[in-house]
Every structure is written in structure tokens, then in C-alpha cells.
Amino acid sequence: MPRFALVLTAIMLAIAIAPRAMPGPHSALAQTADGTMAVVTEPAAPAPSAPGPLQAVLQANADAIAKPSRTTVDTVIAALLESNAPGAATFLAQWRDRGVVQRKADGLFFYGVETADGFSLTDPDTGKNTGNAAKADVTQLRPNSGVRGVLSSALVQFQLADPDIAVRESALIAIERGAEASQLEPLRASIEAESDAGLKARKTRLERLLTIQFDPSAEARIAAIESFAGDISVDVRAALNPLVATTPKAFAEVPAGTNVARALAPGGDIPLDDAYGLLVTAGLAQAAPTLAEMRAALIANRADGAVAGVPVAALGSQAARMDAYARLAAAGTVPPPVTEDAKRAALATVSIVAVYNEPDANVTAAAEATLASISRSLALNQTLDLALDALSLASIYFLAAIGLAITFGVMRVINMAHGEFIMIGAYTGYVVQQFITDYTLSILVALPLAFFIAALAGVAMERLVIRHLARRPLETLLATFGISIALQQIAKNIFGTQARPLTAPAWLDGAWVVNDVVSISTIRIAIFVLALIFLALLLFILARTRLGLEVRAVTQNPAMASSMGINPDRINMLTFGLGSGIAGIAGVAIGLFAKVTSDLGSGYIVQSFMTVVVGGVGNIWGTLAGASMIGSLQKVIEFFNPSNTLAAQTYMIIFIIIFIQFRPKGIIALKGRAAGD
């Protein structure tokens, strides 16, 4: 025993003298190879790193995040917003979608993705995976629907103030598509700090729209409504129209403060039965039994082969059934029927009015005034849009008709195959695009090539057919009509009956949009410019070149021109080729927006002849005036009858027939041979 005490004392003395040799927090006793015990020091575990800026804010509000309510969640949102910590919006979205977990060991928050045996954790500051945790080691945060609604509203505010402009714009688009009352204040708060001028203007405008719908202050709503005076945008009208929507209601006496739009006359402004139904809904009248209810009552009260003394066999007519039902009502068996006179008498004692759905009269008055100004602006812009459409159509008709006007004025030939030269030009453009894939280059090549090919076809037709039928207009008309059919069939044999694409360059895609009402496609603008170019070019040729001088001389007096050394036969050939070539260019232009088929030109031949006749035969300015008149007239008729273009053309032809009765030589009459023929 003394020996044991001596050994124990020695051990305690060794511990006291050499404390470093004892196992500490990072050391352990290990058995060596010879069986003795030795102290082995283990490497120290790394100290936990300091939390990131977002985690620091979360830890400062850990209790409110772990157990949120609609009142405490605002504190968390305010702290996140004030901290401006990166990833705050992502945390709110994850929290709302129940994607946040809290580790029980240290209280830290992570984004958790559920796995088979727990959660995969992601650090909210760095976005890096930090490993896995068992389900027992974490608590998944599950905010209720009320808290999630608050988080959704706050998320909008964070997105609207996000440093990334794409995120801000995405949030703004989301509000524009489906605005909610909770988004108004976050939107207002983000306007002042918005750095992008365009986005700031959109935010300001959207804020006014949301003010109209959701602001509790009538003064703020009225100011926002009045700020949109004259604005014809669809979203403005969509915000204002509900404010002036009405619901018909019946009152024994209209309550004070009811925002009444107007009184309704039963049988006039509102059907009699509908007005009486309002009385029934308001509890001011007895519901009239329906025919089905009457029939059921008759069946239920049938006894001994009769109903109220009326034999069942006699109930074949509606009058007999009504008589039987009236007898039952007189006996008090069924509710009495309500006659038309009874309905009118009941309606005479009440007020039927249209009541605004918006209760504030000042708001509806402001909305009515603003909508009236919008209607005036809308009418003005619709007129402008109609004028642009008419101008576009007139430029197309001018291109299609100018070649016909030249040949008709010089040669007095009614060329029914003129539309087929348009078709030839369109198919030329299609063929060029099969070899030149650059659409811009292909169009630049197709325009002169279409002129050349169509002009050659015109010269060939004039040399082979037209010149042999001079001064025989009826035979010329029939011959050119036959050539028209032949050319269409040739095109079908070569290209088939299927429509062929003539693709416009990318820079001709889209449209010039002025506002929600006024717009015009870029292709039509290009055709208008092309028409102006050809107008200037033809005026230059006719006024400044020898060919133009000879053409004008032959047009006005061919005999005198011949005596001056001008060959009328040659001029006729060149003129016919020029007119046909211009039709070919028109075909390329028309093919850019119309289907290229064998009968493409036949759709423009009638309008071309009408343009020439109305404007004045053989006169460029007359053709321009005629195209403007025909295009404008067609668009106006289509505006009032948009679903029937055939009717528009019919009315247009009737107008032209009446017009030429008063002015047979057209708007600008030609002098010389054409005027005298």
C-alpha cells in the first residue's frame, strides 16, 4: 500500500511539473510500439470565419426570421434594405419560397435543397455549397401565406433598386403585366434613385397608372388622371375605362351620395324584363314565374284530367295554359303571373339608374374629361393613320399605273397585259434571290434587271402585235387580253401555282411606330420613296431629255412630229418598252409584301386603269392625282367597312363612273392627240 501511494504521488508530481505533456483539447494519449503510453498532439480545428454582410444582418434579426409574422417581417425587410447587402433580394425570394434553413448548432442561415438524407446547404453570401446536413440538424423556415405576401411585395422593391438594370427592367415589366396595390409604394420609392433616364420615365409613368387604380387618396388619383389628358396609349385607356364603367340598379329612392351616371328608361335604355329583374334583385318586386315554373305548377295541380277546371286535352296552346295558370293563381294555389302592365306599373314607382362602379364622383368626372380629350386625340391620330395608309396605297397604284399611263397617252393602246409585266418583275426578283442570298444585294440587282426584262417583253409585244393593230382599239384590247392569259399560263408552267417568296432585307422589317394608333410598315415607306424617285426620274426624262421631247411631240401632234424628223413608230416602241419596264420595277416592289403568283398583276390592272382614267390619260401629274384619289377613296371605304374589301372596290367603281360623267377627261386633261381622240 505504501508503494502504491508512492507511485501515485510520483504521477501527480509529474503532471504538475510538465502540464504540456498531458492531453489537452487538441492532444491525446496513444500507445507506442513498445507498449508504453505517450501524448500525441492533434492539429487544432480551424476557427470559424466571420459571417458575411448578409449573414450578419440575418443573425441580427434571427428571431424575427425564424418565427416571422406580418408585423415582425417588416423589421427584417427594413434591415436588409438599409444594409444594401448583396444577395438580399435572393434571400427574400428563397425565404418566400421556403428554401431557407437554419442550422441548430450555430443558428446560421443557409439556402437548403432537400436531399434523400437531409439538406444540401448553400452560403447566402458566397453562393457556394457548404456541405450537407441531416434533417435533424436544421430547421426549415416555412412562412405563412400572409408573410409570403409581404415578402413578395418587398421583393419588388429590392428588384426595382437592383444594381443590374436588366433586373430592374424585368421587375418593371412584371408590374406592367399584372399590377397589384402592394407594388405602388415600392415603385414610388425606387423612382428617385433610378439612374437610367429611360427606365426612370417608364417608372414614373407606371407609378401614375398604379396611382389611378390603387391610391387611397382621391386627390392623388385625380391628379394622375388629369396628367394623361390626350394620351392615346392602350394602357391609359385600360386604366381609365373601369372608372367610368356603370352597373344598372333599381332604387325606391336613390340614396344620397350614390355616384349616378344617368337615369335609365325601362323599355328604351334597358329592356323591360331586365329592368323588372333589377327590381326583383333589389327586393322591390315579386319575381315573375318563368314558363318552366308555370308548366311545373300546371302538372303539379292536375286532377281528374283537368287543371283548375280546364281539361288537359285543351291545354295545347299557350293561351290555354296561361288561362289555367291564372285560375290557379286566383284560387291562391300558385303565385300570380306578372303581366307587362304590372311590370310597367311597378317600374313607374322606382328609379332605374346606371351607377358608376367608382364611388367617388370627382374621380369619375376627371376620368370622363380625360377620356373625352383622349377620344379627340384618338380621332386625330386615326385620321393621320388613315392618311398614311392612303398615301402608301397611292404610291403602289402610282408605280403600277405610271407605265400604263405613258403607253396609253402616247399610243392610245388599251394594254390588258400590263399586269403581267408586273408579274414578270416580281418573278424576276424571286429568281435573282435564288442565286444571290444577300437580300439587300438581290433587291438592288433585281430592280434594274426587272426593268430590263419587262421592257424587252414590252418591246417584243409591241413589235410583234401592237404595231400591226394600230388604230384598231377593240382588236388591240382582245389581243392583249389573250397575251395576258398566255403569259399567266407560261408563268404557271415555269414556277407552278404555289406562291413564291420574295423576301425583303432585314432592314425593311418592322414598322415606323408613332404611337399605339399611327404606324406604317418599313416596306411601304420604301415603296413610297421608290415612287417619288420614279416620279422625279420620269419628270426629268420628259422635260430634260431628247426622248422626252420626242414623246411629248408625238403625244400632242404625231403628224407635226413626223414632219420634224421624229419617227413615231420608234417612239411608240421605246415608250411601250419604258412603260413595261416601270411595271416590272413595280412588280419587285409589290412582291415584297404580296404573294408572288402568276395572277399577281391581275389584281392591279383594274386599279391601274381607274388611276389613269381618273387622273387624265398620258399625264404624269394626272396619274399621281388619280392614284392619290383612288388610294384615299379605297382606304376611307375600307375604314367604314373593314371586313369587305370587295364592297370597297365596288363602291369605288361606282364613284369613278359618276366622276367621269362630270369630268370625262380626268383631273388633269391632256392636250393634243389624246385629248382629241
CA 370 to chain centre: 23
Same domain, residue pair 223 and 257: no
Helices (H), 412-438: 418-435
What pLDDT does residue 671 have?
55
Residues 22-35: pLDDT tens digits?
A: 444 444 444 444 44
Tens digits of residue pLDDT in 270-317: 998 888 888 888 888 877 777 788 888 888 888 877 877 778 777 778
What is the Cα–Cα distance from 467 to 569, expressed in whole angstroms? 8
The closest alpha carbon to 633, from 667, 674, 595, belongs to 667
Domain coverage including residue 235: 167-244
Summarize pLDDT for 353-397 with one digit per residue, the tens: 999 999 999 999 999 999 999 999 988 988 888 888 888 888 888
- Same domain (yes/no): 449, 574: yes
- Please write the tens of the pLDDT for every residue from 519-532: 888 888 888 888 88
Q: Does 204 lie in the same domain as 95?
A: no
Mean pLDDT, range 672-676, rounded to an integer: 47
**Are residues 456 and 537 part of one domain?**
yes
* Domain contains 369: no
Q: Same domain, yes or no, for 199 and 253?
A: no
Instruction: Indicate whether 237 and 258 sit together in one domain.
Output: no
**Whole-structure pTM value:** 0.67
User: How far apart are the C-alpha atoms of 90 and 109, rounded to whole Å?
Assistant: 13
Q: Per-residue pLDDT averaged across 205-224, rounded?
A: 92
What integer is the mean pLDDT of 231-258?
Answer: 89
Sheet of 246-251: strand order equals 246-251, 351-356, 260-263
Q: Are 556 and 390 in contact (CB under 8 A)?
A: no
Q: Note the pLDDT of residue 69.
A: 82
Whether 333 and 411 map to the same domain: the answer is no
Residue that is last in its domain, among 193, 223, 244:
244
Residue 344 lies in a domain: yes
The span from the CA of 223 to the CA of 215, in Å, is 11
Same domain for 277 and 392, yes or no, is no
Q: pLDDT tens across 478-508, in order?
A: 888 899 999 989 989 988 888 888 888 888 8
Reported as a single tens digit per residue, the pLDDT across 76-105 is 888 887 777 777 878 888 888 888 888 888
Query: In terms of Cα–Cα distance, which of 521, 257, 202, 536 is closest to 402?
Result: 536
| C-alpha dihedral sign at 336, 342, 348, 353 | positive
What pLDDT score does 188 carry? Answer: 87
Strands 519-521 and 511-513: antiparallel
| Burial class, 22, CB count within 10 angstroms (exposed 0-12 / middle 13-18 / buried 19+) | exposed
Considering the domain boundaries, does residue 14 fall inside one? no
As a whole number of angstroms, the distance between CA 192 and CA 111 comes to 33
According to DSSP, the β-strands at 100-103 and 109-114 are: antiparallel
Residues 297 and 237 in one domain: no
Residues 293 and 434 in one domain: no
Domain termination site, one of 188, 219, 244: 244
Asked if residue 371 is part of any domain, the answer here is no
Q: What is the pLDDT of residue 21?
A: 40
3 in any annotated domain? no
| Domains held by the chain: number | 4
> What sign results for the dihedral spanned by CA atoms 236, 237, 242, 243?
positive
Annotate 90-128 with b (16+ C-beta within 10 A) or e (fewer). Answer: bbbbbbbeebbbbbeeeebbbbbeeeeebbbbbbbbeee
Higher pLDDT: 444 or 563? It is 444
Q: The cell 508512492 sits on which residue?
A: 6
Handedness of CA 250, 256, 262, 263 (dihedral sign): positive
Nearest-5° angle of CA 502, CA 507, CA 508? 50
Q: Give the pLDDT of residue 409.
A: 67
Q: What is the pLDDT of residue 618?
A: 65
Same domain flag for 430 and 562: yes
Query: Which triple of cell numbers denotes residue 347?
Result: 317600374
The last residue of one of the domains, among 306, 335, 362, is 362
Is 537 inside any structural domain? Answer: yes
Domain-located, residue 658: yes
Please indicate, yes or no, whether residues 495 and 467 belong to a single structural domain of this protein.
yes
Beta strands in 90-187 (DSSP E): 100-103, 109-114, 118-122, 129-134, 138-140
pLDDT of residue 645: 65
* 260 phi, psi to nearest 5 deg: -85, 130
206 in a structural domain:
yes
Q: Which residues pair with 110 in a beta bridge?
A: 101
